[in-house]
Structure 1
Amino acid sequence: MKGRVLIVAGSDSGGGAGIQADIKAVTAMDGFAATAITALTAQNTLGVHSVVPVDPSFIARQIEVVLTDIGADALKTGMLHSAEVIRTVVAGFRKLEDNVPLVVDPVMVAKGGHRLLQPEAEAALRDLLLPMTTLLTPNLPEAEVLVGFPVRIEADMMRAGEKLCAMGPGAVLLKGGHLEGDRVVDLLFQDGRVERFEDARIVSRSTHGTGCTLASAIAAGMAQKMSLYDAVARARAYVRRAIETAPGFGHGHGPLNHAVTVKSDWN
């Protein structure tokens, strides 16, 4: 086991996304996952049925006790539902003396298109969190919220990626799963370069938690001192295999097979 990742995100009672997916993904990458939970959800493959937010002071306490004892080689954020929570997380991360990489999955838009952040929280994300972000991993609906224009084709992705980089993150992985067509294109913007990843689309309803899983798997790679490109490539391959071997649980958008890397003959 190599690489400590502190994940700040919400819990998914269905186990497919959120903190549960984050822990599974980091573990599957042979890393160690610690957490600070921002919200509890009553959730399954059909959707989110109820949310109980965690008090920001307790979120800060979780971050503090983990970092002062266990430490972290990488940080990852998911669901940060309010401006106060974002300010709390930023303050907690700023206490780190080392330059620890931060992966931000901007959980802003639900699968049905519902906005998950109020305007004040969106502003806090842009103004406070993005400038300290090492890698931002938006999907296309989230990118549209951040850049303020539609992102529907690859040319739009190029324009959006450049604008997102100008907002302060060190790099941006713009995920193209919402594009039309039988090919999936993701673009990695880093140091003025654009790396293009393209694969055949996997037709599956087992796609719940793909964003959480991808971002956490990348964070694990960064904690293990992989290059950003290699961490992204490994995480994408892992997520694709996890979709292909998904267990088919639930009646809606089902979970991935996060344990796809685990050998069954360990004993």
Structure 2
Amino acid sequence: MSIALTIAGSDSGGGAGIQADLKTFAAFGVYGCSAVTAVTAQNTVGVTNIFEIPNQVIEDQIFAVMDDIVPNAIKIGMLSNIAIINTVAQCLTKIKKTNYVKVVLDPVMVAKGGDRLLEENAVNELKELMIPLSDVITPNIPEAETLVKFSIKNDDDLKNAARFIVDKLGAGSVVIKGGHRTDNKCDDVYFDGHDFQILSAERIQTKNTHGTGCTFAAALTANLALNLSISDILHRSKSYVNECIINAKPIGQGHGPLNHFPFLNN
């Protein structure tokens, strides 16, 4: 059975973080493991508190999995401060020396409600330590703008940002998600250092989008664990997220979560 590990924060509301990741892994028939980096008191409206897991406990969780249940792919989510980034980077460096495992980095910076999940002074560490260890990085447009330090207004800007993240920052490949575009399109741009692929989709008019970024990155991770072609991985992940959004039920008073099992009638 294919196995995936998520290293990310916990969302008490169940819509994002490890909760979204594990549901997504299960939806693709992939066995999910987790290492929690932070516990957030969070719902569809916002984040009210964050407890950062001690670094040693994060490391112990990661290697408890690696020593027994070796994953085919690892997804990295919320890494809220410099110390946690350093801990996870050191763990991944050690893992990659002895295991062939794909790493997907979702550079989580701000929650759907606007609350910061990454300290501003930790962005450089994320760029310098985590991106070079990543086979795929999945920023949204605001996150990509923070990483490349220029505005993204059109398709050319998206491609230039993708090229910068791979060529200058050292990512293996990148998918810049188009959900924050100002037009009616939600096209994502993938770049692997050689070729671009555009993942096209029309915008879905809904407020039930909490955890969309986590879910997309987790879908990529699950499909990487299944060892599919990159074209299949991209299109299966994009299609899955669209179905999760379309089939989302109204939950909570704010930005509701996705329906991670759209194929189940309920």
TM-score over 0.5 for the alignment?
A: yes
Displacement of 1:43: 0.6
Alpha-carbon contact 1:132-1:169 (below 8 Å) kept: yes
| 1:145/1:115 CA distance change after superposition, 3 Å | farther
Displacement of 1:263: 7.0
Three-state SS of the structure 1 residue aligned to 2:40 is strand
CA distance in 2, matches of 1:55, 1:93: 17
Displacement of 1:49: 0.9
1:149 — aligned with what? 150
Aligned-partner residue type, residue 11 of structure 1: S
Tell me which moved more, 131-140 or 82-91. 82-91
Displacement of 1:7: 0.5
Normalised by the length of structure 2, the TM-score is 0.95
Residue 194 (structure 2) aligned to one of 175, 192, 195: 192
Three-state SS of the structure 2 residue aligned to 1:69 is coil
Which ranges of 4 or more aligned residues in structure 1 deviate by more than 2 Å?
109-120, 261-264
| Residues 37-94 of structure 1, C-alpha deviations (whole Å, 9 max, x = no match) | 0011111000111111100110000001100001110010000001111111111122
Displacement of 1:180: 1.3
* Structure 1: runs of 5 or more not aligned: none
2:263 — aligned with what? 261
* Structure 2: runs of 5 or more not aligned: none
1:111 — aligned with what? 112
Aligned-partner residue type, residue 6 of structure 2: I
How many percent identity over aligned positions? 41
Alpha-carbon contact 2:7-2:75 (below 8 Å) kept: yes
Displacement of 1:125: 0.9
Would you say 1:56 and 2:55 are equivalent positions?
Answer: yes
Three-state SS of the structure 1 residue aligned to 2:251 is coil
| 1:238/1:193 CA distance change after superposition, 3 Å | same
1:171 — aligned with what? 173
How many residues align? The count is 263
**Any residues of structure 2 matched to 1:37-186 within 5 Å, and which?**
37-96=36-95, 97-111=98-112, 113=114, 115-166=116-167, 167-186=169-188
Alpha-carbon contact 2:24-2:218 (below 8 Å) kept: yes
Three-state SS of the structure 2 residue aligned to 1:50 is strand
| 1:191/1:164 CA distance change after superposition, 3 Å | closer
Alpha-carbon contact 2:166-2:193 (below 8 Å) kept: no
CA distance in 1, matches of 2:194, 2:217: 21
Alpha-carbon contact 1:161-1:174 (below 8 Å) kept: yes
Alpha-carbon contact 2:47-2:115 (below 8 Å) kept: no
CA distance in 2, matches of 1:254, 1:133: 30
Query: What is the root-mean-square deviation in Å for CA atoms of aligned residues?
Result: 1.4
Alpha-carbon contact 2:184-2:202 (below 8 Å) kept: yes
Normalised by the length of structure 1, the TM-score is 0.95
Three-state SS of the structure 2 residue aligned to 1:240 is helix
